[in-house]
Amino acid sequence: MPRIKKLELDEWDNDLREMTAADSGTALEQGIMRMFAHTPEISKGLVAFGGAIKSHRSLPDRLVELVRLRVAFHNQCRSCMAIRYQDGVDAGIDEDLVCSLEKPQEAEDLSDAEKAAIEYGELFATNHLAIDDSVYENLRKYFSEAEVVELSITVAWFVGFGRLAATYHMVEELPEAFQNENSEKLTPWNEDSIIVR
Q: How confident is the model at residue 168, as a pLDDT?
A: 94
Quote the DSSP letter at residue 101.
G
Q: How confident is the model at residue 190, as a pLDDT?
A: 67
Domain boundaries, the chain: 9-55, 61-196
3-state secondary structure (DSSP) of residue 195: strand
Q: How confident is the model at residue 197, as a pLDDT?
A: 62
3-state secondary structure (DSSP) of residue 149: helix
DSSP assignments along 35-96, one per residue: HHTTSHHHHHHHHHHHHHHHHT--S-HHHHHHHHHHHHHHHT-HHHHHEEEHHHHHTT--HH
Per-residue pLDDT of the chain (197 residues; tens, 9 = 90+): 889 999 999 999 999 999 999 888 777 678 899 999 999 999 999 999 999 999 999 999 999 999 999 999 999 999 899 999 999 999 999 999 999 999 999 999 999 999 999 999 999 999 999 999 999 999 999 999 999 999 999 999 999 999 999 999 888 888 777 877 666 788 888 667 777 76
Using a CB cutoff of 8 Å and minimum separation of 24, what contacts does 101-109 make?
101/66, 101/69, 101/70, 101/73, 101/188, 101/189, 102/187, 102/189, 104/66, 104/70
3-state secondary structure (DSSP) of residue 126: helix
Q: How confident is the model at residue 1, as a pLDDT?
A: 81
CATH architecture of 61-196: Up-down Bundle (1.20)
* Phi, psi torsion values for 13, nearest 5 degrees: -60, 135
